[in-house]
Amino acid sequence: MAAKKNTPNRYKRQGKKNRKSNPFSGGKALLKKSVIILFVGAMSLGCIYIHDAILQCPLFDVKTITIDGLDRVTRDEVLARTGLDKQANIFELLPDMLEKKLNTHPWIRMATVKRQLLTTISIKIEEQEPLAIVTIENLADIVINAQGAPFKEYEPAKDDLTALPVISGVDLSLSNSTYLFEGDLFNAVMQILKIRGIGQIQTILGDENTGILINILNTRPDKNFTKNPGETESEIKTVLPIKLGFDEFEKKLARARQIQRYMENNYPDKTISAIDLFSLKKVFVTTKDAAQHTTEKGV
């Protein structure tokens, strides 16, 4: 048998030949990368230049500021808190940051800030709706909103809230790093405050053993009260305490109104001085005889 003749590997030789024929292929790739890097750098510098030019251009300064929803909060307070009391470029202002600054104001429940056109800032304010003042032993009085959440310390000299009811007998609790009022007693207070047609509630006292006691301005004050010089009619009205217990507040308050109308129609010479509605099955009414200055209590 004849010996097999070894033939050269043509494929490998061809590959070597191809590699030798492109000695500058790596240099071209490096050149392309360099061009891309220079282009990106030039674009970045251009963007920075344009950005600075826009922020420094007086054409984009804020010229108009509209603010809606103000009542207790003043326009000057809004401008000072957002820094809009000074000259500012509209593109330099971040609406989200301005909203956060405004929301730190105790009387602002929610703020919305928007850019309009190229020189206008629009601000919408939703203020807190005060519902009542809560007194807590050894702490400052607190104002709660319509949702029952505390939102600021009561400042009599600044806050015109003398017509609000004053709540006592409830305590603050800490929940998720936030202080709030909660529990059955406070929920009962909130139920009463949502009932319409009660009249002007002056105080609400919560007690874990006896429930809720409210004091309202009596709709029929004693006619024999003497009015001092300079004293208004509202200042001589009597306060009517009503015990409500723990439940059925709407029915009990409706019963209290029925009792008042009945007494006015049938006993005009008497004035109700207290109503005990702890139970609807047995109601106690304390009356005062205006002429004889005597007090009676009956069922």
Residue ranges, comma separated, of all CATH 3.10.20.310 domains in the chain are 58-127
CATH 3.30.360.10 fits 58-127, yes or no: no
Residue 89's pLDDT band, with cuts at 50, 70 and 90, is confident
Q: Start-end ranges of CATH 3.40.50 in the chain?
A: 130-298
pLDDT at 197 over 90: no
Query: What residues contact residue 143 under an 8 Å CB cut-off, 6+ apart?
Result: 128, 130, 132, 133, 134, 150, 151, 152, 153, 154, 159, 161, 164
Q: 57 vs 8, 95, 181, 239, 254, CA distance in Å?
A: 75, 20, 51, 65, 67
Q: Report the CATH architecture of 130-298.
A: 3-Layer(aba) Sandwich (3.40)
Which three-class secondary structure state does DSSP give residue 78?
A: helix
Greater model confidence, 51 or 69: 69
> Of the given ranges (127-131, 282-286, 287-291), which has the lowest mean pLDDT?
287-291
Number of neighbouring beta carbons within 10 Å of residue 82: 22
Model confidence at 289, in pLDDT bands (50, 70, 90)? Answer: confident
Residue 296 in this model has a pLDDT that exceeds 60 = no
- % helix, strand, coil for the chain, step of 5: 30, 30, 40
DSSP 89: B
Query: What does R_g of the chain's alpha carbons equal in angstroms?
Result: 39
Query: Would you say 239 and 215 are in contact if contact means Cβ atoms under 8 Å apart?
Result: yes
Would the pLDDT of 258 be above 70?
Answer: yes
Span of 34-43, 97-106, 177-186, 245-254 with lowest mean pLDDT: 34-43
Q: What is the pLDDT of residues 11-24, one digit of tens each?
A: 555 555 555 555 55
The more confidently predicted of residues 176 and 107 is 107
Q: What confidence score (pLDDT) does residue 116 get?
A: 87
Output the pLDDT for position 168: 96
pLDDT at 108: 97
Higher-pLDDT residue of 73 and 27 is: 73
